[in-house]
């Protein structure tokens, strides 16, 4: 199935935006070049190339990213450290467009936004969802203040990012969809850099 020109252009623009947010300007340029050069070849097609791993990745990464956005919003309201505030804003800027992109993919693929069953961290169609905080974790974070909040937020976000990187590594091993692989690379590079920053802040 060939992607409509409007959808293709929107995808290319979104990819450029999210990769730039992750600091990967060369990757963003590559994604844009691929979209422009694909024409009607289907290189950037979202529909025909999707397999079960692609669909599971999008279905699981959307709520995973949403929890990161919830944590970022919490930090913007409660954090004491300017560095944590900056990280929270950075996470919002990167992950909200990614959610919109993956939602668009699922629509194009004719797949539901969510899996029928919520299996938590169990294996789902070859994908494993990990790094999610429990309701108790999120409540403990909401109740924290000052330096305690900042420390807890950094520790929880590191674990959350590590889970996202694991999911991205998984889908790269199983996907042949150019868009999915590009996004997985962006997740790995962007969140690994944020983990390094957060670990440095915790060591101070």
Residue-wise pLDDT tens digits, 10-60: 334 444 444 443 333 333 333 333 333 333 233 334 445 799 999 999 999
> Is residue 155 a contact partner of residue 120, using CB atoms and an 8 Å limit?
no
- Report helix, strand or coil for 124: strand
Q: Which domain holds residue 85?
A: 5-37+46-107+124-203
Residue-wise pLDDT tens digits, 190-203: 999 999 999 999 99
Residue 29 in any domain: the answer is: yes
| Domain at 57, CATH number | 1.20.1260.10
Residue 100 in any domain: the answer is: yes
Residue 115 in any domain: the answer is: no
Residue 58 in any domain: the answer is: yes
CA distance 121 to 118: 9
Q: Residues 6 or more apart from 132 whose CB is under 8 A from it?
A: 63, 64, 67, 120, 121, 160, 163
pTM of the predicted protein model: 0.75
Residue 197 in any domain: the answer is: yes
pLDDT at 183 > cutoff 70: yes
Instruction: Give the model's pLDDT for residue 48.
Output: 52
Here the tokens at position 23 are 């600091």
> Is residue 127 a contact partner of residue 157, using CB atoms and an 8 Å limit?
no
Residue 20 in any domain: the answer is: yes
Residue 157 in any domain: the answer is: yes
Quickly state the pLDDT bin for 97 (edges 50, 70, 90): very high
Residue 21 in any domain: the answer is: yes
Is 151 exposed, middle or buried (CB count within 10 Å of its CB: 0-12, 13-18, 19+)? middle
**Average pLDDT of the segment spanning 73-102:** 97
Here the tokens at position 143 are 């109740």
The total number of structural domains in the chain stands at: 1
Residue-wise pLDDT tens digits, 115-170: 876 444 444 556 788 999 999 999 999 999 999 999 999 999 999 999 999 999 99
Weakest-pLDDT range from 97-106, 117-126, 159-168, 180-189: 117-126
């Amino acid at each position: 199935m060939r992607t409509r020109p409007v959808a293709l252009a929107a995808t290319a623009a979104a990819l450029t935006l999210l990769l730039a947010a992750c600091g990967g300007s060369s990757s963003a340029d590559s994604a844009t070049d691929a979209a422009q050069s694909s024409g009607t070849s289907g290189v950037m097609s979202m529909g025909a190339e999707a397999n079960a791993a692609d669909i599971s990745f999008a279905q699981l990464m959307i709520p995973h990213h949403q929890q990161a956005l919830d944590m970022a919003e919490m930090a913007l309201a409660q954090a004491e450290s300017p560095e944590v505030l900056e990280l929270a804003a950075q996470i919002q800027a990167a992950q909200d467009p990614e959610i919109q992109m993956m939602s668009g993919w699922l629509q194009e693929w004719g797949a539901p936004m969510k899996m029928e069953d919520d299996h938590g961290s169990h294996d789902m169609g070859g994908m494993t969802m990990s790094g999610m905080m429990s309701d108790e974790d999120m409540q403990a974070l909401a109740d924290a203040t000052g330096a305690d909040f900042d420390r807890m937020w950094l520790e929880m976000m590191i674990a959350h990012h590590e889970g996202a990187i694991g999911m991205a590594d998984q889908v790269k091993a199983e996907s042949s969809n150019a868009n999915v692989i590009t996004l997985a690379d962006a997740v790995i590079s962007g969140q690994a850099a944020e983990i390094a920053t957060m670990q440095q802040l915790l060591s101070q």
